Amino acid sequence: MTAHDTQLDQHGRLKHFLTVEGLSRELLLEILDHAESFAGVGDRAVKKVPLLRGKTIVNLFFEPSTRTRTTFELAAKRLSADVLNLNSSTSSTSKGESLQDMLHTLQAMHCDMFIIRHGNSGAAHFIASRVSPDVRVINAGDGRHAHPTQAVLDMFTIRRHKPDFPGLRVAIVGDVAHSRVARSEIHALRALGVADIRVVGPKTLIPAGIESMGVTVYNELESGIRDADVIVMLRLQKERMRSALLPGAKEYFNSFGLTNARLRAARKDVIVMHPGPINRGVEIDSEVADGTRSVILQQVGHGISVRMAIMALIMGSLAPGRETG
Partner 1 sequence: MNRIGAGEIDGLIRAMALDTGAWLKRTGRGDPLIIGIHTGGLWVAERMRRELAIDSPVGELNITFYRDDFSRIGMHPRVAPSHLPLAVDDRHLILVDDVLNTGRTIRAAMNEIFDWGRPASICLAVLIERGGRELPVQADVVGRRLDLHPDQHVKLLGPEPLALEIKKSE
Partner 2 sequence: MRLSINGGRVFCPASGQDLVADVHVAEGRVAAIGPAPAGFRPDQQISAAGKLVLPGIVDLCARLREPGAEHKATIASECAAAAAAGITTLCCPPDTDPVVDTPAVLELINQRAAAAGKTQVLVLGALTQGLQGEVLAEMQTLKAAGCRGVSDAGRAVGNSEVLRRAMEYAAGCGLTVFIQPDDPQLRNGGAMHEGATSTRLGLPPIPASAETVAVARALLLAEEAGARLHLGRISAAGSVSQIRAARERGVAVSADTGICHLHLTDTDVDGYQSLCHLAPPLRGAADRDALVEAVATGIIDAVCSDHQPHDADAKAAPFSLTEPGASTIDLLLPLLLKLVQEGKLPLARAIAVATTAPARILGLDQGRLERNGPADLIIVDPDAEFVVTAALLKSAGLNNPFLGRRLRGRVLATILQGRLIFQQ
What is the footprint of partner 2 within residues 139-158 (CB under 8 A)? 142-146
Q: Which helix (H) or strand (E) holds 62?
A: none
Q: Does 109 help bind partner 1 (rule: CB under 8 A)? A: no
x/- mask, partner 1, residues 296-315, rule CB under 8 A, reads ----------------xx--
Options 27-35, 109-117, 181-189, 266-274: segment touching partner 1 (CB under 8 A): 27-35
Return the residue of 17, 61, 114, 126 that touches partner 2, per CB under 8 A: 126
276 binds, options partner 2, partner 1, none, Cβ within 5 to 8 A by partner type: none
Cα–Cα distance for residue pair 307/75, rounded to 1 Å: 6
Q: Which residues are paired to 172 by β-bridges?
A: 199, 232
Q: Does 98 help bind partner 2 (rule: CB under 8 A)? A: yes
Class of residue 309 by CB neighbours under 10 A (exposed 0-12, middle 13-18, buried 19+): buried
205 conformational bin, left if phi > 0, alpha if psi -120 to 50, beta if neither: alpha
What is residue 198's three-state secondary structure?
strand
Q: Does 110 help bind partner 1 (rule: CB under 8 A)? A: no
Class of residue 162 by CB neighbours under 10 A (exposed 0-12, middle 13-18, buried 19+): middle
Cα–Cα distance for residue pair 245/239, rounded to 1 Å: 10
Options 77-85, 114-122, 132-140, 277-285: segment touching partner 2 (CB under 8 A): 114-122
1 binds, options partner 1, partner 2, none, Cβ within 5 to 8 A by partner type: partner 2
What is residue 207's three-state secondary structure?
coil
Q: Which helix (H) or strand (E) holds 37?
A: helix 25-38
The angle subtended at Cα 301 by Cα 174 and Cα 160, nearest 5°, is 80
Q: Does 207 help bind partner 2 (rule: CB under 8 A)? A: yes
Q: Does 39 help bind partner 1 (rule: CB under 8 A)? A: yes
The least distance separating partner 1 from the CB of residue 54, rounded to whole angstroms, comes to 10
Return the residue of 4, 8, 22, 49 that touches partner 1, per CB under 8 A: 49
The least distance separating partner 1 from the CB of residue 319, rounded to whole angstroms, comes to 4
272 binds, options partner 2, partner 1, none, Cβ within 5 to 8 A by partner type: none
24 binds, options partner 1, partner 2, none, Cβ within 5 to 8 A by partner type: none
Q: Does 134 help bind partner 1 (rule: CB under 8 A)? A: no
Return the residue of 17, 38, 61, 256 that touches partner 1, per CB under 8 A: 38
Under 8 Å between Cβ of 36 and 66:
no
Nearer to partner 1, 236 or 312 (CB): 312
- Number of residues assigned to the chain: 325
Q: Does 132 help bind partner 2 (rule: CB under 8 A)? A: no
The least distance separating partner 1 from the CB of residue 304, rounded to whole angstroms, comes to 14
Under 8 Å between Cβ of 230 and 280:
no
Residue 86 is classified by DSSP as E
Q: What is the DSSP string of 263-315?
A: HTTS-TT-EEE--S---BTTTB-HHHHTSTTB-HHHHHHHHHHHHHHHHHHHH
Options 30-38, 61-69, 123-131, 251-259: segment touching partner 1 (CB under 8 A): 30-38
Under 8 Å between Cβ of 42 and 78:
yes
The angle subtended at Cα 232 by Cα 165 and Cα 226, nearest 5°, is 75
Binding site for partner 1 (CB under 8 A): 13, 30, 33-34, 36-40, 44-46, 48-51, 312-313, 316-325
Binding site for partner 2 (CB under 8 A): 1-3, 5, 21, 98-100, 118, 120-123, 125-126, 142-146, 180, 183, 207-210, 212-213
